[in-house]
């Protein structure tokens, strides 16, 4: 189950693009699954690896990068996507826990879930994803 990820990368020449491509290739991403436009600073990767691993590989080439977009590699059908922010209603968390989780429906049977959560204390943590539910009172009604 592969997805296409688009990154904004601070590159300005074909030499920079080659460095990024080499790092991605060292991390198991085939050159045929990468599109790079140094004029716009865009790197598009088709992969089943987590976005964080791809981002780290790009940044190990020496350039700053930001994930811009995430979607299905099947452009024939748009089955949907969603983003969930993990914070309170003001856009930040008083507890210091913040994050974002992305959901991309890759096909009829598979949904890719990828995200980052910062501010957790050391130890084991879990995440629960429900297909349906009433969130009018937060997670009080989730079972």
Residue 139 lies in a domain: no
Average pLDDT over residues 125-138: 73
Higher pLDDT, 24 or 143: 24
User: What is the predicted pLDDT for the residue at 58?
Assistant: 96
Q: Both 67 and 87 in a single domain?
A: no
Average pLDDT over residues 80-86: 78
Residue 58 near residue 20 (C-beta atoms within 8 A): yes
Residue span of the structural domain in which 16 resides: 3-72
Please state the domain count of the chain.
Answer: 2
| Chain segment 25-43, per-residue pLDDT in tens | 999 999 999 999 999 999 9
Whether residue 23 is predicted with pLDDT greater than 70 in this model: the reply is: yes
Quote the pTM value: 0.61
Q: Both 90 and 50 in a single domain?
A: no
Distance of CA 143 to the CA centre of its chain: 27
Average pLDDT over residues 67-79: 70
Q: Both 40 and 97 in a single domain?
A: no
Average pLDDT over residues 134-141: 63
Residue 15: exposure state from Cβ atoms within 10 A (0-12, 13-18, ≥19) = exposed
Residue 104 lies in a domain: yes
Higher pLDDT, 23 or 136: 23
Residue 131 lies in a domain: no
Q: Both 90 and 68 in a single domain?
A: no
- We report the CATH number of the domain holding residue 22 as 3.30.70.100
Q: Both 51 and 86 in a single domain?
A: no
Helix 14-26 and helix 51-59, axial crossing angle in degrees, nearest 10: 130
Higher pLDDT, 35 or 4: 35
Q: Both 59 and 100 in a single domain?
A: no
Residue 44 lies in a domain: yes
Beta bridge pairs of residue 45: 5, 34
User: What is the predicted pLDDT for the residue at 69?
Assistant: 78
Q: Both 57 and 93 in a single domain?
A: no
Residue 58 lies in a domain: yes
For the chain, give the mean pLDDT.
82
User: What is the predicted pLDDT for the residue at 132?
Assistant: 72
Q: Both 42 and 60 in a single domain?
A: yes
Q: Both 17 and 36 in a single domain?
A: yes
């Amino acid at each position: 189950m592969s997805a296409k990820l688009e990154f904004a990368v601070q590159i300005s020449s074909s030499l920079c693009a080659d460095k990024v491509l080499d790092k991605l290739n060292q991390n198991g991403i085939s050159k045929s699954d990468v599109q790079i436009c140094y004029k716009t600073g865009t790197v598009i990767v088709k992969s089943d690896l987590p976005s964080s691993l791809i981002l780290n590989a790009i940044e190990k080439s020496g350039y700053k990068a930001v994930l811009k977009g995430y979607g299905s590699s099947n452009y024939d059908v748009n089955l949907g996507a969603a983003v969930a922010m993990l914070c309170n209603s003001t856009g930040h968390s008083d507890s210091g826990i913040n994050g974002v989780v992305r959901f991309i429906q890759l096909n009829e049977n598979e949904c890719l879930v990828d995200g980052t959560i910062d501010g957790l204390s050391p130890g084991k943590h879990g995440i629960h994803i429900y297909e349906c539910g009433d969130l009018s009172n937060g997670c009080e009604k989730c079972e």
